Each structure stands twice: as C-alpha cells, then as structure tokens.
A = this chain, B = another copy of it.
Amino acid sequence: MGWTERVVEHLADEGHRLTGPRRAILEHILRYSAPFTAEELLADLQKAGVQVGRATVYRTLELLHTNQWLGLVHRPEGEHGYVVAEPGHQHHLVCRRCGSVIAFQGCELETLLGGLAERLNFRIEGHWLEAFGVCRTCQMTSAA
C-alpha cells in the first residue's frame, strides 16, 4: 500500500472527505523529488490543467502537514518546503544539489539532548533536526 492509499485511508478514518481537489493534490505531491511550497504546487497544478483554487491548496497542505503526512524542511536560505513523510518522529537529509530528501529516524539524539536538558534544567518537549549536503547520486553525477 503506497503513501497515497495510506493517506486516503487515514483521512477517511478521521472523517475527512475525499474530494477531487484533494485527490489531484495527493497525486501531484508524489511527483516532487525535492521540497516544494504551496505556491509551487499551485502553479504546477494549473500548468497541468488541474483547476484548483489557491485556498484549497493551502488548506490541503496544512491538513496533510497537521497529520504528519508532510514534513516541513527549511533551506539555509530561509524558506520552508514540504516533503512527503510518514507519521511519527523523523528527520531529513536534504541534498543541496538536487533537493532530494532522505528520511531517517536515528535518535541517539535524544541522549545528547537529555544530558543537556538535565544540566540546564530545561524541559525539552521536542526538537527539529535537519541535515543537508550532497546525495550519493549527485556525488557521482559530477565533480566535487
């Protein structure tokens, strides 16, 4: 069962309706190999001849993000981009060259933060970790 099917099932369970625009958006999201923004998706949908309103795109992405089917990544430059995700705690490796994203769970991080928290008496409730660099493919594709 693919990502789309799982999302559809989950949304149905939560009582959300499966509408045309939502289907179209879900399908289009899978075409991205790099983080995308709401405006980019809107433009791509229109370019593809799919008639969807701006507000719907924003609302649907928000819905998916809230349910953790989309993760949020930010580039060092500043903007935010969405990436396909799975519910649960995870982090990302983002390629600076091609933008591809690899998700990972590795949370020995909890240990590091735990020690820190104890030392500072700071109650940690969550964290945000994102690494960026050059993916395997891009390393091979061209020099350095």
Q: Which one, A7-15, A47-55, A129-137, is touching chain B? A: A129-137
Would you give the shortest CB distance from A38 to chain B, in whole angstroms? 12
Contact residue among B122, B132, B135 (Cβ-Cβ distance under 8 Å from A136): B122
Q: Give the oligomeric copy count.
A: 2
Chain B residues in 8 Å Cβ range of A127: 129-132
Interface bracket on A: 35 or more
* Interface membership of A23, Cβ < 8 A: no
Q: Is the CB of B80 within 8 A of A102?
A: no
- Sampled A-B contacts (11; CB under 8 Å): A74-B74, A93-B116, A102-B122, A104-B116, A106-B115, A108-B112, A121-B139, A123-B134, A126-B133, A127-B130, A129-B130
